[in-house]
Amino acid sequence: MARKMLKDGEGAEGSYDYDLFVIGAGSGGVRGSRTSAGFGAKVAICELPFHPISSEWLGGHGGTCVIRGCVPKKILVYGASFRGEFEASGLTVLCKKWIQSNSGGKSMGTSTTTGKSCWKTRYIAVEFASIWRGLGAEVDLFYRKELPLSLKFILTNSIYVNQLSKTADGIKVVTDKGDELIADVVLFATGRAPNSNRLNLEAVGVEVDHVGAIKVDEYSRTSVPNIWAVGDVTNRINLTPVALMEATCFSKTVFGGQPIKPDYKDVPCAVFCIPPLSVVGLSEQEALEEAKNDILVYTSSFNPMKNSISKRQEKSVMKLVVDAETDKVLGAAMSGPDAAEIMQGIAVALKAGATKATFDSTVGIHPSAAEEFVTMRTLTRRVSPASKPKTNL
């Protein structure tokens, strides 16, 4: 809520204790508070009492990403990766127990378990399936809807879980195909819903949609002129860096005298499974849907150098999607070690409007996986907008 705000080009003043009062000390709330204070605003921020498991009554400064989401998840990914690294070096790793991370709605919990596990997926389930598998569990992965990033390149048929029942041997899982398996743990990765129920938003006229997401305009302003919303509670692109961008734009617009809209074009993202997947820009399918011209697709698949020592069979895959008429790179994708680190740099190039010629003229770093992005010279395929792409990636 802002006391000093831009309204029809003029500043509006009122008798309030603060220029900005922020509800929620997650990534967006903290960034918005800090940048607004940097512009001279008097700011207060509130958050629920800390607890590692969130609920309507508990939360903590730092929000989902820092406390129970992205950050601890990636630490678990690092830990799960050691097993493969050790085995690639000829060492044997034994694991008797591991951690189950269980996410859904507004909460996440942990418990200790052993044996075989079964997952229903979007990308968080893929990540935790990798964690469990890396720590020695046998994992089966089920999915119902659109696949996360490069998994579209690997899996093709949707599978539903029709029935779950307890047996003496564990949990019996029956799929819509009639297949059966026994698991020690079944985890449903149901996603998260905006935690707006207890804010009583309707009392002040703030509009929300059917899932509780706060409706905002392109500047993140709600239906009430002096109330703004950023981050996952608006259900736009639910990524921490996007919440940071939205909050920064808010601060510049309201307190910095620099009206600016969040830019959702070419937002990079990653799935931190093992190996990781990362993309930026348009997929081949998206490019064909938007393009007026043919699309050029360049791909590369290779065995990472360190695997030549261990003989580990794990390919890295890269892809560039290019507009045939303008030569502009429309999208990039990678599956393999350090994919997210590499894709962050590629995202800068796409944001700057780089062409395929720009990539081709860039000197690579050798030996590295990243250099493949500037040495892909052979066209894999040329696709017209009327054609159906060979992959959704």
> 149 and 332 in contact (C-beta within 8 Å)?
no
- Which residues neighbour 230 within 8 Å (Cβ) at sequence distance 6 or greater? 28, 29, 32, 220, 243, 246, 247, 250
The pLDDT of residue 269: 94
Tens digits of per-residue pLDDT, 196-224?
988 999 999 999 999 999 999 999 999 99
Beta strands across the sheet bearing 138-143 = 138-143, 116-121, 185-188
Please list the alpha-helical segments (H only) found in the chain: 27-38, 63-68, 70-88, 123-134, 240-254, 284-290, 307-310, 339-351, 356-361
Q: In the prediction, which pLDDT does 14 show?
A: 58
Calculate the alpha carbon distances from 269 to 129, 197, 251, 373 in Å: 19, 29, 24, 17
Given a cut of 70, the residues of the chain with pLDDT beneath it are 1-14, 90, 92-122, 144-158, 387-393
| Dihedral sign (CA 365, 366, 368, 372) | positive
pLDDT (tens digit, 9 = 90+) per residue, 272-292?
A: 999 999 999 999 999 999 988
Q: According to the 3-state scheme, what is the secondary structure of 147-214?
A: CCHHHHHCCCCCCCEEEEEEECCEEEEEECCCCEEEECEEEECCCCCCCCHHHCHHHCCCCECCCCCE
Q: How far apart are CA 68 and CA 109, in angstroms?
A: 9
pTM of the full structure: 0.84
> Could you tell me which residues are beta bridge partners of residue 188?
120
Q: Which residues are catalytic?
A: 366
User: What's the rounded Cα separation, in Å, for the pair 303 and 88?
Assistant: 14
